[in-house]
Amino acid sequence: MNKTLKGLIFGLLLFVFLTVSFYGYRYWQIKTGRILKVGNTWVTHEAFHEQYGDPQNPVAVSKNTPEEVYTKFRTAILANNVEEALKYITPEKVDKYKIKFANETIMRSYKGLPSVDKIRPEDNKIIGNYISYNYFKIGDEKTYSVSFVKNQQGYWLIELI
C-alpha cells in the first residue's frame, strides 16, 4: 500500500471515530439530562436557567396563558396584521420574525397554523417560565414546536414558532 492510500484510510478512520465519539457524547448528555432541547437548539441547564430563570422560582404570576397568546397571534396572522402578530413574539426575536413575515411563502405557511385545540404541551418541556407545545400538520409526518417564555412582568410570549 502506498503512503497516500494509508494516509487517506487513516484520515477516514479518524473522522469516523471523532464523529461517533461526538454524537455518542451528545447522546449521553441528552439521556442523562445534562442538556435540554429548547425549540430547535440544545442548551445546558445553566444556560437554560440563565435565560429562563429558576423553575422553582417563577418570575411573576401569569397574567395570560400560552394558549391565549397563541390564539391572538394566529388571529393576527390570518388577518395579515403583522404588527399585531409581532406583539406576541419575544422582543429578542421580533426582527427575525419581521423578516420571515415579509416573505409571502413563509407567511402562507404561518397561515396554516392549527387552531389552539390542536396544539399540545410537551410533558417534559414545562419548566418554570418556559413551555413548549407540539402540533402536527395534516398530511405531514413532522412534529412542529411552539415555545413560550414568561417575561418579568408575567406575560407569556412566543419565543419560537
Kindly state whether residue 10 falls inside one of the protein's structural domains: no
Kindly state whether residue 151 falls inside one of the protein's structural domains: yes
What is the span of the domain harbouring residue 89?
Answer: 59-160
C-alpha cell at 62: 401569569
Beta strands in the chain (DSSP E): 35-38, 41-44, 120-127, 130-136, 143-150, 156-160
Residues in the chain: 161
Residues 31, 140, 147, 73: what is their CA dihedral angle, to the nearest 10 degrees?
Answer: 180
Kindly state whether residue 45 falls inside one of the protein's structural domains: no
Tens-place pLDDT, residues 3-44: 888 888 999 999 999 999 988 888 887 777 777 777 667 777
With DSSP H G I counted as helix, E B as strand and the rest as coil, what are the percentages for the chain, rounded to 5? Answer: 50, 25, 30
Q: Is the separation of the CB atoms in 160 and 40 below 8 Å?
A: yes
C-alpha cell at 115: 387552531
Distance CA 145, CA 113 (A): 11
Distance CA 59, CA 155 (A): 10
Q: Is the separation of the CB atoms in 155 and 140 below 8 Å?
A: no
Tell me which of 138 and 90 has the higher pLDDT.
90
Kindly state whether residue 14 falls inside one of the protein's structural domains: no
DSSP secondary structure letter of residue 115: P
Beta-carbon-side half-sphere exposure of residue 33 (alpha carbons within 13 Å): 2
Q: Is the separation of the CB atoms in 106 and 100 below 8 Å?
A: yes
The count of structural domains within the chain is: 1
CATH code for the domain in which residue 79 is found: 3.10.450
Tens-place pLDDT, residues 35-82: 777 766 777 777 776 666 665 555 567 889 999 999 999 999 999 999
Q: Is the separation of the CB atoms in 122 and 133 below 8 Å?
A: yes
* Average pLDDT in the chain: 83
Kindly state whether residue 129 falls inside one of the protein's structural domains: yes
Kindly state whether residue 4 falls inside one of the protein's structural domains: no
